[in-house]
Structures are given as C-alpha cells and as structure tokens.
Amino acid sequence: MADEGGHTVVEVLQIFSQASTRPCLVRTADDRLHVMKLAGAGPGPRGLLIEFLALRFARLLGAPVPEATPVLLPQGFPWMVGTDEFDEMIQRSFGWNLGVGYVPDAELAAVETFDEADAAALTATGEADRFLHNVDRTAKNPNLLRNAQRRLRAIDFDACLFFDRAVSGRIPESFPLPRGHLLSDLEKRPPLIRLDPEACRAWLTEAPAEWLATTGRSPAELASALASYVEAWNGQRWP
C-alpha cells in the first residue's frame, strides 16, 4: 500500500448532498483535490475496493474516467462542514477512503445533450461497462459529467458486478451490457482492447489492507480470480 504522505486529508471543503453516500470534496496534504468516497457510507470498504479497481480497468479500456487513489482520513479529524449526521459518517470513516480525481467546473450530462463529439467517449465508456458489468448507467442516471471543455467524464463505478463474479468464479462466457444500460445499442460490438491479466496485481498492492480484508481472500487469490476474468474477456471473438 502506498505511503500516507501527501494522501492525507487536511480539509473537507464541500459535501455533495445529492448523493445518498455523501461524498465530499477534500484537499490532501499534497494540495490536490479529490472527491472522497467514505468507508463509513454505502457499501463500505469493499465498495471502495471495487470502485478503485473498476476505475483502473476502465482507464485501460479507454474510458474517460478520473484517477483514483486511497486517501487517509486521520483519526479524530475535526468537524468542518455539514450536519451532525455527516459528522457521524466521517467518524465511521477514519482511516483509508477512496479519493476520486475532482473534475472542476463540471455538471451532470443529460442524455439529450449528447452529440457526435461525444461518440468516442461514449463508445469507450460502453466497452468499460461491458467488462465491468456496470448496472448503474441508465438514461435516468447516466453518471456522466461534462467539464468546462465540454468533455465527458464517466463516474460512479461502485455498482459494478465484475468483482463479485470474478471472486465467486462465475466467469461469464460473454459480456453484454446490463439490461437497461444507457449505451445498450453498443452491445453487438466486439471488444476492441485486450487487457493484461496481471495488471491488477500491482493495483492490489496499492489497496489498503482493511479494504482487502473485507473480501476474505488474500491479494494473491484476488489477483488470480481477476486474471481469470480478464482472460475470459480476452478470449472473446475479436475483429
């Protein structure tokens, strides 16, 4: 796991209260901004591990996603913003949380705003979601941001099922998009990018021990399970 260093949270700036898990904008000791997803909210540390890995895989598949790294919320971190309820959530989250790269001057992108300039980003996002089996990207909830330069960024990968399928050995024979997915018209396309089955071994060394402990598996076992999943993806028919 990476050294604490600049990954330590020094300031909470804003709460994104529209999300039920209350992610928040934080500054770390290296003066970087992250959207911090809390270990004490939603699916907990296991969900953070899944999203951390999902974002890494999505980037390899060409999807326009923010960077992600573990960030440390020090024990006893003081109240800064929000309600008592949020402060209780913060207290449950002392330790390692997930920091997702902040996209400044961004707004949620609506389906009706997509145009030809978005085609490549949407195609790559669809490919990543096929691999990850992301069930949380629909017309009502695209989970896409548009930044000040009008570029799309795909976010919120904590509802992906790839990890549970890999760990349980339920390796799919094919990788269709989930039913109702925003980009289901891409379903018949063959995958474009093969992945290195060993890539996730290095990522798992960056993941905090408390995240890994929630899986009941060793890092070596997780890496092997994920490698088998990647090999199934690579084994599809290619153009």
Chain segment 191-213, per-residue pLDDT in tens = 578 999 999 999 999 999 999 99
Question: Global pTM?
Answer: 0.93
Q: Which residues contact 89 (CB under 8 A, 6 or more apart)?
A: 22, 38, 40, 41
Residues in the chain: 239
What is the Cβ-side half-sphere exposure of residue 128, based on CA atoms within 13 angstroms?
28
Query: Given 3-state DSSP classes, what are the helix, strand and coil percentages for the chain, each rounded to the nearest 5?
Result: 35, 15, 45
The answer to whether 22 touches 86, Cβ cutoff 8 Å, is yes
The pLDDT assigned to 5 comes to 61
The pLDDT assigned to 64 comes to 97
Q: Which residues contact 156 (CB under 8 A, 6 or more apart)?
A: 51, 136, 143
> Has residue 232 got a pLDDT over 70?
yes
Q: Give how far Cα 161 sits from Cα of 12, 107, 193, Å.
A: 30, 26, 20
What is the DSSP-derived secondary structure letter of residue 110? P
- Domain positions in the chain: 5-101
Tell me the pLDDT tens digit for each residue of 163-182: 999 999 999 988 999 999 99
Write the DSSP assignment of 214-234 as a string of letters.
TTTS-HHHHHHHHHHHHHHHH
Work out the average pLDDT over 136-158: 92
Beta strands in the chain (DSSP E): 9-15, 24-28, 33-37, 68-73, 95-101, 107-108, 144-146, 152-154
The pLDDT assigned to 82 comes to 75
The pLDDT assigned to 38 comes to 95
